């Protein structure tokens, strides 16, 4: 342990030395400039109108100063200055002031203000020079904005007007709002979608024109929204002709299934018809028409709808059966469409060997998987996954002796996991009744899974058999629901003599019951809201809510049927094993705020498990622990809490709890294309629900909550390889609830903890 602390201290000292050298170079930003160049030190935008967001002007500005971390340190510039003689492509060179870019910025400011209705504006720029450094100041005087006084509609095609006026209360153009070109463009898009929903397949944004009258006076404008007739070129006369917009219906639906569809005569394929949809294929139809028809939102003879088109593409994509999905339309008559859907299948079966690094609460390991997949087991899109998992892990051992006898295969691993896993995902609800309309909208799925796992640890040997049956569906693009009415687990524990004797010596019923064979029969519900985008270019929110109940139905049955209890434990049993009875609820809320080349992440997670009835403790695997690479990073996993239990009374086996509260703040910033840095602060702890005489101050108590709070700070480095992220976090406690003075703030360098993680912590 002392050697480990020494290594961490050495690492910390090297980090301090490197940071000092780096700050020296970053504080001299002009060292690489030419004599006639000026270093752009800062850009500030000032406006006398508080309603205008000056950040918008800063983003439009053509020249920005060097990036800063936390608004203070020019890290990228410092790295460039440090290494520019060896590698001029590393870091960020100093930004040299360019007066021509300033003039271009002023021109862009004027365009932006005009688009926002500030027609009588003035913009100016000034500079302040000190040596070879310069500060740039923009002053925005937008003047009085033009306000929308009146909105009128004109329709060259009267038949289309009713649909637009029917939804006019949803118009984005509001009387009394500032004139804004961007809002006008968004209103064009909204009207186009309204009309495409009503069958106007060929309607486009270009069919809408605005007339803006600024002569009303008093800085007001009248707007006329004009919906034009359709303009098309006559192929014979080559003249532009106007005609009324046509409302289309889907006359027929054809689904072409096969490879290299463009190079084949698809109309020579074999055909089968199901519910008015014609399926065309060659050689053999691998997919049940019923399954494909279920994914298609269209119905023949119905009005064309943009929503039907989007949902059809979405549902077909979620089947994960096709490499390419193309939806095309062909005009058959004056107002009828032939809907052609072209599907290029993927291979049904796949076999893979997978090797990954693992990180379980800070315990590192390796895992190998043999995977077989059949994506179309019964021809209805049933997705079968067979996985044989094997893993080795280095787990921190305190409760038993850690000698070479714990090594596995002569390697520095002390934990072995092995076992098969079977999962079947069915692209519909398996229910005794039909939910056709709901299914079209929510694209539900049924999942059936089974797992058998063998785990060998220094403290015990564990067998786990688990099976589950559940459903999930999409409420919207951002909202998902998961319901698992059946989730059963059988856990068999064979403790080592040393570990069993240690538990007996503790003489604590909580520990004795936590490490016994048990059976779990749980019902679970989860809700997830996640509006994050893949490229993460905007602010987003993630929220997850879980609820779980176990054992109540079994106890109700046993009580109603007067089943006998075990005389020794005074508890009911199922198949000869005492079963757990508890309710558990938790949520995880995260806010992601994007900045230029950086992001702020705020997170709070709270969980509570309440055991009762048949087993008065939470099973070990359902209990909460503190610390680890994805939690309070200044502590190793399972070394924090519960509460302000003193260090002298803690050990690995009893640092678990029934309540967990955790909050994190993290600032992430880009260093290079591969490297990303982070500063973070973590706070929280775990607690028991009830007082335990053998573990004083371990129960949650609002009057002592501040004393029980653990706080750690740290810095991190991430290596982003796109397909996975390797993460290094160094964290130190600044408030330790297990210390003699749990309210004291003190940076505990000697307790610095180094975490290696895979992926972001949250």
Long-range contacts of the stretch 14-21 (C-beta < 8 A, 24+): 15/715, 15/730, 21/82
- Evaluate whether 2-141 and 147-243 have a shared fold: yes
For the segment 331-351, what is each residue's pLDDT rounded down to a tens digit? 887 789 999 999 999 888 888
State the Cα angle at 338 between 337 and 339, rounded to 5°.
Answer: 105
Per the CB < 8 A criterion, the answer to whether 230 and 202 are in contact is yes
What are 660's two structure tokens? 């967990």
What span, in angstroms and rounded, lies between the C-alpha atoms of 46 and 137?
Answer: 8
The sign of the CA dihedral 371, 374, 375, 378 is: negative
The pLDDT-based confidence of 3 (bands split at 50, 70, 90) is: very low
What span, in angstroms and rounded, lies between the C-alpha atoms of 115 and 476?
Answer: 34
For the segment 351-371, what is each residue's pLDDT rounded down to a tens digit? 888 766 655 555 566 677 899
The pLDDT-based confidence of 413 (bands split at 50, 70, 90) is: low
Alpha helices, DSSP H, located in 132-208: 158-166, 181-197
Burial of 91 (0-12, 13-18, 19+ CB in 10 A): buried
- pTM of structure: 0.79
For the segment 420-448, what is each residue's pLDDT rounded down to a tens digit? 999 999 988 888 766 666 666 777 899 99
The sign of the CA dihedral 36, 41, 43, 48 is: negative
Indicate the length of the chain as a whole number: 762
H/E element, 758 = strand 753-758
Q: How many CB atoms lie within 10 A of CB 617?
A: 23
Closest CA to 755 of 680, 700, 657, 684: 680
Per the CB < 8 A criterion, the answer to whether 619 and 580 are in contact is yes
Is residue 19 over pLDDT 90? no
Per the CB < 8 A criterion, the answer to whether 622 and 720 are in contact is no
Is residue 12 over pLDDT 60? no
Query: pLDDT value at position 340?
Result: 92
Per the CB < 8 A criterion, the answer to whether 151 and 225 are in contact is yes
Query: pLDDT value at position 675?
Result: 83
Burial of 507 (0-12, 13-18, 19+ CB in 10 A): exposed
Query: pLDDT value at position 1?
Result: 42
CATH T-level assignment (fold) for domain 2-141: Ubiquitin-like (UB roll) (3.10.20)
Question: What is the DSSP pairing of strand 445-456 with strand 460-474?
Answer: antiparallel
The pLDDT-based confidence of 459 (bands split at 50, 70, 90) is: confident
The pLDDT-based confidence of 5 (bands split at 50, 70, 90) is: very low
What span, in angstroms and rounded, lies between the C-alpha atoms of 456 and 353?
Answer: 23
249-345 CATH pick, 1.20.1560.10, 3.40.50.300, 3.10.20.310, 3.40.50.2000 = 3.10.20.310
Closest CA to 250 of 363, 114, 341: 341
For the segment 129-166, what is each residue's pLDDT rounded down to a tens digit? 998 999 999 999 999 999 999 999 999 988 888 888 88
Q: Does domain 147-243 have CATH number 3.10.20.310?
A: yes
Domain spans in the chain, listed from the N-terminal domain onward: 2-141, 147-243, 249-345
What are 241's two structure tokens? 């002709």
For the segment 79-111, what is each residue's pLDDT rounded down to a tens digit? 788 777 666 667 788 999 999 999 999 999 999
For the segment 372-407, what is each residue's pLDDT rounded down to a tens digit? 999 999 988 899 999 998 877 766 554 555 554 555
Query: pLDDT value at position 566?
Result: 86
Query: pLDDT value at position 654?
Result: 60
Is residue 61 over pLDDT 80? yes
For the segment 649-690, what is each residue's pLDDT rounded down to a tens digit? 665 566 889 999 999 999 998 877 778 889 999 999 999 999
Closest CA to 496 of 515, 518, 519: 515
Query: pLDDT value at position 401?
Result: 54
Computed over every residue of the chain, the mean pLDDT equals 85
The residue-averaged pLDDT of 594-613 equals 90
For the segment 612-658, what is each residue's pLDDT rounded down to a tens digit? 988 888 888 889 999 988 899 999 888 898 998 887 666 556 688 99
Which residues of 475-565 form beta strands (DSSP E)?
Answer: 479-495, 518-530, 540-550
Per the CB < 8 A criterion, the answer to whether 644 and 738 are in contact is yes
Question: What is the DSSP pairing of strand 220-227 with strand 147-155?
Answer: parallel
Percent of the chain with pLDDT over 90: 42
Q: How many CB atoms lie within 10 A of CB 594?
A: 14
Percent of the chain with pLDDT over 70: 87
What contacts 442, CB < 8 A, 6 or more positions away? 473, 474, 475
For the segment 460-519, what is each residue's pLDDT rounded down to a tens digit? 778 889 999 999 998 888 999 999 999 999 888 888 877 778 777 776 666 677 777 888
């Amino acid at each position: 342990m002392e050697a480990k602390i020494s290594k961490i201290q050495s690492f910390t000292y090297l980090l301090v030395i490197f940071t000092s050298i780096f700050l020296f170079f970053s504080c001299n930003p002009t060292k690489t400039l030419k004599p006639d160049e000026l270093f752009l030190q800062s850009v500030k935008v000032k406006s006398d109108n508080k309603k205008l967001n000056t950040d918008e002007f800063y983003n439009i500005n053509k020249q920005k100063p060097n990036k800063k971390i936390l608004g203070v340190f020019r890290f990228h510039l410092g790295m460039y200055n440090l290494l520019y003689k060896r590698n001029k492509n590393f870091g960020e060179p100093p930004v040299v002031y360019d007066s021509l870019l300033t003039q271009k910025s002023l021109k862009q400011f004027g365009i932006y203000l005009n688009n926002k209705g500030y027609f009588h504006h003035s913009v100016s720029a000034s500079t302040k020079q000190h040596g070879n450094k310069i500060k740039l100041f923009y002053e925005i005087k937008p003047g009085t904005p033009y306000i929308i006084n009146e909105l009128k509609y004109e329709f060259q095609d009267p038949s289309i007007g009713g649909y637009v006026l029917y939804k006019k209360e949803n118009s984005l153009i509001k009387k009394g709002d500032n004139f804004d070109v961007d809002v006008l463009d968004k209103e064009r898009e909204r009207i186009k979608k309204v009309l495409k929903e009503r069958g106007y397949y060929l309607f486009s944004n270009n069919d809408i024109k605005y007339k803006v009258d600024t002569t009303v006076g008093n800085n007001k404008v009248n707007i006329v929204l004009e919906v034009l007739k359709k303009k098309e070129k006559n192929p014979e006369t080559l003249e532009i002709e106007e005609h009324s917009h046509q409302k289309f219906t889907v006359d027929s639906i054809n689904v072409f299934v096969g490879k290299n569809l463009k190079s084949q005569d698809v109309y020579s394929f074999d055909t089968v018809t199901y519910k008015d949809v014609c399926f065309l294929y060659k050689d053999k139809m691998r997919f049940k028409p019923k399954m494909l028809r279920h994914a298609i939102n269209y119905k023949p003879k119905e009005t064309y709808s943009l929503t039907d088109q989007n949902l059809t593409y979405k549902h077909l994509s979620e089947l994960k059966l096709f490499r390419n999905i193309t939806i095309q339309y062909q005009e058959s008559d004056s107002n009828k469409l032939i809907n052609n859907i072209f599907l290029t299948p993927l291979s049904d079966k796949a076999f893979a060997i997978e090797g990954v690094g693992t990180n379980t609460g800070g315990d590192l390991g390796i895992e190998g998987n043999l995977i077989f997949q059949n994506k179309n087991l019964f021809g209805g899109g049933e997705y079968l996954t067979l996985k044989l998992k094997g893993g080795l892990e280095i787990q921190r051992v305190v409760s038993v002796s850690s000698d070479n006898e714990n090594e596995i295969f002569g390697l520095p691993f002390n934990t072995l996991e092995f076992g098969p896993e079977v999962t079947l995902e069915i692209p519909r609800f398996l229910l005794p009744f039909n939910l056709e309309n709901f299914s079209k909208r929510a694209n539900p799925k049924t999942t059936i899974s089974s797992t058998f796992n063998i785990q060998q640890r220094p403290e015990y040997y564990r067998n786990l058999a688990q099976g589950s049956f559940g459903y999930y569906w999409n409420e919207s693009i951002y909202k998902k629901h998961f319901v698992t009415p059946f989730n059963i687990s059988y856990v068999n524990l064979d403790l080592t003599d040393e570990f069993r004797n240690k538990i007996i010596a503790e003489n604590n019923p909580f520990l004795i019951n936590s490490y016994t064979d048990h059976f779990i029969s749980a019902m679970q519900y989860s809700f997830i809201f996640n509006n994050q985008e893949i490229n993460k270019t905007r602010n987003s929110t993630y929220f997850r809510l879980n609820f779980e109940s176990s054992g109540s139905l079994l106890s109700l049955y046993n009580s109603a049927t007067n089943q006998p209890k075990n005389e020794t434990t005074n508890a009911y049993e199922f198949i000869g094993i005492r079963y757990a009875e508890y309710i558990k609820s938790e949520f995880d809320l995260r806010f992601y705020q994007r900045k230029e080349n950086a992001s702020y992440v705020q997170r709070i997670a709270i969980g509570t498990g309440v055991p009762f009835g048949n087993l008065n403790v939470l099973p070990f695997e359902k209990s909460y622990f503190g610390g680890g690479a994805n939690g309070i990073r200044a502590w190793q996993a399972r070394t924090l809490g519960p509460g302000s239990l003193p260090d002298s009374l803690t050990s690995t086996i009893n640092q678990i709890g029934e309540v967990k509260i955790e909050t994190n703040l993290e600032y992430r910033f880009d260093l290079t294309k591969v490297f990303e840095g982070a500063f973070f602060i973590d706070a929280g702890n775990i607690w028991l629900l009830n007082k335990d005489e053998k573990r004083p101050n371990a129960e949650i108590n609002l009057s002592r909550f501040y004393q029980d709070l653990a706080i750690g700070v740290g810095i991190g480095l991430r290596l982003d390889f796109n397909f996975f992220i390797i993460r290094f976090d160094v964290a130190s406690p600044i408030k330790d609830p297990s210390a003699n003075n749990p309210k004291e703030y003190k940076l505990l360098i000697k307790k610095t903890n180094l975490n290696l993680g895979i992926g972001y912590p949250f």
